[in-house]
Amino acid sequence: MNQLQSEGVTCVAVDLTMIGSKDTTIERWYGSFIYKLASNLQLLSKFNFRAWWQELDFLSSVEKLREFIDQNDTPEIQELLLSGLVSIQQGKLKISNRIYEAIFDSDWIKRHLD
């Protein structure tokens, strides 16, 4: 991260272990993740997160993350895509980072769906 920052790339760190527990729903996990991203990117003063989340109630959690990225098309958000952590493939958000992909695999999703 230091190397990226030295090259002028805006970076944020989100401690994923602080976002939830084994009982955390996917909806709540994504909400916390997006909130932390917005907070760390200093975007919370630009919109009402709670109202925004509720307005998009008809979307899945992954679609809300994509909408967040699309609506906040800032250099910081673009860095998330450029960092390789996530990518958009065939209109869907895909975890590109192998570590996160290993952690949040289909078994994790199945265990955490009610």
For residue 78, the model assigns a pLDDT of: 67
Torsion angle of the four alpha carbons 39, 45, 49, 50, in this order, in degrees rounded to the nearest 10: 120
Q: Which of 70, 9, 2, 12 is nearest to 39 (CA)?
A: 12
User: What averages of pLDDT result for each successive group of 10 residues across the chain (114 residues)?
Assistant: 74 79 84 88 84 91 84 64 65 64 70 62
Structure-token pair, residue 37: 């991203």
Residues 6+ apart with CB under 8 A from 25: 112, 114
pTM for the structure as a whole: 0.59
